[in-house]
Amino acid sequence: MAKIVAVAGTKGGTGKSTLSHLIAHGAGSLPRPIPAVVVTTDEDDDLLVGDRRYVVVDGRTPDLLAAQLEELLLVEHLLIIIDGAAGRADLDEIVSRLADVLVVPFGPADHEVTRVNKNLAAVPKGIALPNRWPAHQATRARANKLLDRIPKGRRFEFPFPAIPKLDGWFSAARYAELAYDVASPARGLVTEVLARGGIDLHALAGSSSLKR
């Protein structure tokens, strides 16, 4: 059966869509690629088009989301990434019931930590993912202090870095330009996320075509 990673949280702009697409891109960029599909659920988002290392489908209404998942879940080797949206009761129910991993991104700011802790209290499965972490040493040291405010078992150990050139990642033209450079951090991200969910990445990729 397919595996589900959900990227959620109540606040906009924390990186839910960016990380969802990076997880999918990472899956499609592994030495043995894992087929991946991003389910877009935010009604304010346009559906991404263009050639990518993964597929994007429409889950922007409760009916569409339910229909897509019903079909996708039957696929044996597939990673389904649900790019979350706030204020969707149907989505919250599906995610709490079906997600193998529930990622809640937050940025390097005080109010972000307060918010993510509230989200974690509401969703027992949730794991906080520090996103957009500063690269500069002094700034990063300050940001790392924020991590202590989140219980260790409830967060990813390794923050995902701020990548300046990510802007425009959602456009087909920029994707083509960035795909190669972003593949490396994206592979690291999907590996961490799947490990956290106890998902075997080789099993999910299916058997190698290079059988003897």
Those residues whose C-beta lies under 8 Å from the C-beta of residue 191, and which sit 6 or more positions away, are 26, 201
Q: Which residues in 94-113 contact ligand ADP (CB under 6 A)?
A: none
Q: Verify binding: residue 189, ligand ADP, rule CB under 6 A.
A: no
Q: Verify binding: residue 175, ligand ADP, rule CB under 6 A.
A: no
Q: Which residues in 42-81 contact Mg ion (CB under 5 A)?
A: 42
Q: How many residues does the chain have?
A: 212
Where does residue 180 fall: left (phi above 0), alpha (psi -120 to 50 degrees), or beta otherwise? alpha
Q: Verify binding: residue 132, ligand ADP, rule CB under 6 A.
A: yes
Q: Verify binding: residue 131, ligand ADP, rule CB under 6 A.
A: yes
Q: What single-letter DSSP state applies at residue 197?
A: T
Please tell me whether residue 79 adopts helix, strand or coil conformation. Answer: strand
- Binding residue (CB under 5 A) for Mg ion from 14, 17, 29, 131: 17
Choose the one of Mg ion, ligand ADP, none that binds residue 15, judging by a C-beta under 5 to 8 angstroms depending on kind.
ligand ADP
CA distance 145 to 37: 35
Choose the one of Mg ion, ligand ADP, none that binds residue 88, judging by a C-beta under 5 to 8 angstroms depending on kind.
none
CA distance 13 to 35: 27
- Binding residue (CB under 5 A) for Mg ion from 3, 16, 21, 155: 16
Nearest CB to ligand ADP, comparing residues 162 and 204: 162
Those residues whose C-beta lies under 8 Å from the C-beta of residue 93, and which sit 6 or more positions away, are none
- Binding-site size for ligand ADP (CB under 6 A) equals 14
Quick check: 54 and 143 in contact, CB under 8 A?
no
Residue nearest to Mg ion (CB): 17
Q: Interface residues with Mg ion (CB under 5 A)?
A: 16-17, 42
